Amino acid sequence: MSYIMVDIESDGPIPGDYSMICFGAVLVDDTLDKVFYGRLKPISEKWDPAALSISGFTREETLAFDDPTGVMERFATWLQEHSVGRPMFIADNNGFDWQFINWYFHHFLEENPFGYSSTNLGSLYKGVVKNMRKNFKHLRITEHTHDPVDDAKGNAEAFLQIIKRYKIKR
């Protein structure tokens, strides 16, 4: 099994009514050099300017992004090429990131290569340190910029630190 750290940016709170604008994914290994980045054209006329502003893109820029079907097909191929067995989706806020990736895979490709499960990095860390108030974010090396590749990489760095410090089997 391969861990894939994912981060997404959107123009609203839920998939379908709003759009996933871009996402990044990093294969969690010792190099963190296998990355995927996709920018997706909006699927809806509905969008929240405050949510979109987090991504750093304007609505006009997003309208020129790639067709979502093609992006999801390329991501599925990337997962197949870089995963051993079924990949495991992991994210800082998997409740948010997972809903978009899962919806987009099922809506555009009719299946999700990740299956039906995801892992929340924050919850994992709280369990490992046995403290529900602890946060893992101090373990990131790459700055959290809201560029989804940077954010996925920083979270992957933290995940690797958790594995190393607490001697967790992968």
- Look at residue 107 in the predicted model and tell me its pLDDT: 98
- Look at residue 168 in the predicted model and tell me its pLDDT: 86
Q: pLDDT-derived band of residue 167, with 50, 70 and 90 as boundaries?
A: confident
From the candidates 106, 107, 138, 146, give the one annotated as an active-site residue: 146
pLDDT in tens, 114-156: 999 999 999 999 999 999 999 999 999 999 999 999 999 999 9
Q: pLDDT-derived band of residue 65, with 50, 70 and 90 as boundaries?
A: very high
Domains and CATH numbers, the chain: 3-165 (3.30.420.10)
Q: What is the mean pLDDT of the chain?
A: 97
138 is catalytic: no
pLDDT in tens, 39-54: 999 999 999 999 999 9
Q: What is the 3-state secondary structure (H, E, C) of the chain?
A: CCEEEEEEEECCCCECCECEEEEEEEECCCCCCCEEEEEECCCCCCCCHHHHHHHCCCHHHHCCCECHHHHHHHHHHHHHHHCCCCCEEEECCHHHHHHHHHHHHHHHHCCCCCCCCEEEHHHHHHHHHCCCCCCCHHHCCCCCCCCHHHHHHHHHHHHHHHHHHCCCCC
